[in-house]
Amino acid sequence: MQDQTLRVWRGGPVATGVGRDFGRIADGVIVARGERIVYVGAAARVPSDLFDTTAETYDLAGRLVTPGLIDCHTHLVFGGDRASEWAMRLEGAPYAEIARAGGGILSTVTATRGASEAELIASALPRLDSLLADGVTTLEIKSGYGLTLDDELKMLRVARQLGTLRPVRIRTTLLAAHAVPPEYRDDRKTYLAYITDQILPAAAKAGLADAVDAFCETIAFGPEEVAHLFAAATRLGLRVKLHADQLSDSGGAALAARFGALSADHLEFANPEGLAAMAEAGVVGVLLPGAYYVLREKTAPPVAAMRQAGLAMAVASDCNPGTSPLASLRLALHLACTLFGLTPQEAFAGATTIAAKALGLDDHLGCLAPGHLCDLAIWEADHPLHIMSNLGRAPACRRVVGGLSV
């Protein structure tokens, strides 16, 4: 029997995520039946027939309720550690040079291949817990550090399993086209065929991938190679997304638009035509300020052009061992404002309504609205600005997932 319990949260401000000032209602009420919201609005206007004596009521005692946050781009599962590369970069070694010398992504590939599922779970859980403490209720996790059929599926299984060990919704993305593995260094064509003919169909058959991603960059895969992969993914009925134009303009934005991608992510070097094509095709642009900050990049994503194009902008942690060792979505939102010039409301939408769209979940997640799943973050704060303005001290946060306090 499905849970049909009526639950009511009242006695504090509610920011729905839609409308002016974050959709904030000073004295708000949320009513859920089972896992779904049935009412959200001002306390003074709650329809009386919604209440009965069986309703469980939670007193917010002045705490702020927002939608549970959504981190739409992470590489949360990986083996090993790359702190030494951070130190090397601080001494001047560029990321691309470290990558070409077999460090970077490939050093994490070696460690991930050597790790068992239990070890990968154990190392990912603290990072996951850190994100959950930031009010995250849904997150995306990519593979991409296995680069063999078995190791990519292992990563996806681990990602899915994290969702059974913690109350959180997980979306998985196959990123076998993250780097050319060493054993295929001189035969990248064969590696691509291995992905399209074996890894992709196996992941699809096992139902382990919700989407397919690729790293389109001079140090990774070219646009024609990605187009070939995306065609194969589309034939299998899988949506695509792309690491696009992070370090150079590879035409990634236009490519993502051509395949009706869920999102194109990074976009520091995206050109205006590509951004316009994305907006036209409904592709979300995902900004990843953690990587920009850690790599000490100088070219910020063209946010003014994105606004001009009418592009929907999300913000994510890109939590990974190399370019963005960042397990805080709150900090990513802060950086999106201070480094990229997003308004706080744009940044907040980027981790709620627009992040839901970037994962194809916006019909039932991302904002507080009747019919949507009741995923909430309840903060020791009065206004959404307080969630993003602090560095190093997070307001305490409780979460509700599918109507249940967790």
| 321 counts as binding ligand DI6 under rule CB under 6 A | yes
Per CB under 6 A, which region of 36-44, 104-112, 200-208, 336-344 contacts ligand DI6? 104-112
Q: Which residue is nearest to Fe ion (CB)?
A: 318
- Three-state secondary-structure class, residue 321: coil
Classify residue 256 by its DSSP letter: H
Q: Which segments of 104-211 does DSSP mark as H helices, in order?
A: 105-113, 117-133, 149-165, 188-194, 200-205
Residues 6+ apart with CB under 8 A from 246: 217, 266, 267, 268, 269, 291
- Three-state secondary-structure class, residue 141: strand
Which of 291, 331, 378, 387 touches ligand DI6 by CB under 6 A? 291
| 264 counts as binding ligand DI6 under rule CB under 6 A | no
| 147 counts as binding ligand DI6 under rule CB under 6 A | no
Q: How far is the CB of 75 from Fe ion (least distance, A)?
A: 6
The tokens for 326 are 């960042």
The tokens for 232 are 């194969």
Residue type, 41: G
| 181 counts as binding ligand DI6 under rule CB under 6 A | no
Q: What is the footprint of Fe ion within residues 312-331 (CB under 5 A)? A: 318
Q: What is the footprint of ligand DI6 within residues 214-233 (CB under 6 A)? A: 215
Q: How far is the CB of 181 from Fe ion (least distance, A)?
A: 18
Per partner kind, with CB cut-offs from 5 to 8 A, the member of Fe ion, ligand DI6, none near residue 215 is ligand DI6
| 138 counts as binding ligand DI6 under rule CB under 6 A | no
- Backbone φ and ψ of 395, nearest 5°: -65, 140
Per CB under 6 A, which region of 12-20, 127-135, 190-198, 314-322 contacts ligand DI6? 314-322
| 322 counts as binding ligand DI6 under rule CB under 6 A | yes
Q: How far is the CB of 382 from ligand DI6 (least distance, A)?
A: 34
Residues 6+ apart with CB under 8 A from 230: 212, 214, 240, 255, 259, 261
Q: How far is the CB of 146 from ligand DI6 (least distance, A)?
A: 13
The size of the interface with Fe ion (CB under 5 A), counted in residues, is: 1
Please give the Cα distance from 231 to 236 (Å, whole number).
9
**Phi-psi sector, 136: left (phi>0), alpha (psi -120 to 50), beta:** beta
The nearer residue to ligand DI6, 321 or 344, going by C-beta atoms, is 321
The nearer residue to ligand DI6, 20 or 296, going by C-beta atoms, is 296
Per partner kind, with CB cut-offs from 5 to 8 A, the member of ligand DI6, Fe ion, none near residue 366 is none
Please give the Cα distance from 255 to 266 (Å, whole number).
14
Per CB under 6 A, which region of 47-55, 111-119, 300-308, 320-328 contacts ligand DI6? 320-328
Q: How far is the CB of 138 from Fe ion (least distance, A)?
A: 17
- Backbone φ and ψ of 43, nearest 5°: -55, -35
Which of 323, 328, 352, 353 touches ligand DI6 by CB under 6 A? 323
Please give the Cα distance from 219 to 8 (Å, whole number).
52
Q: How far is the CB of 288 from ligand DI6 (least distance, A)?
A: 6
Classify residue 44 by its DSSP letter: G
- Backbone φ and ψ of 231, nearest 5°: -60, -40
Provide the 10 A C-beta neighbour count for residue 34.
16
105-113 and 149-165 helices, crossing angle to 10°: 80
The size of the interface with ligand DI6 (CB under 6 A), counted in residues, is: 15
The tokens for 168 are 């959180």
Per partner kind, with CB cut-offs from 5 to 8 A, the member of Fe ion, ligand DI6, none near residue 105 is ligand DI6
Q: Which residues bind ligand DI6 (CB under 6 A)?
A: 75, 104-105, 108, 178, 215, 243, 246, 291, 318, 320-324
Q: Where on the chain is the footprint of Fe ion (CB under 5 A)?
A: 318
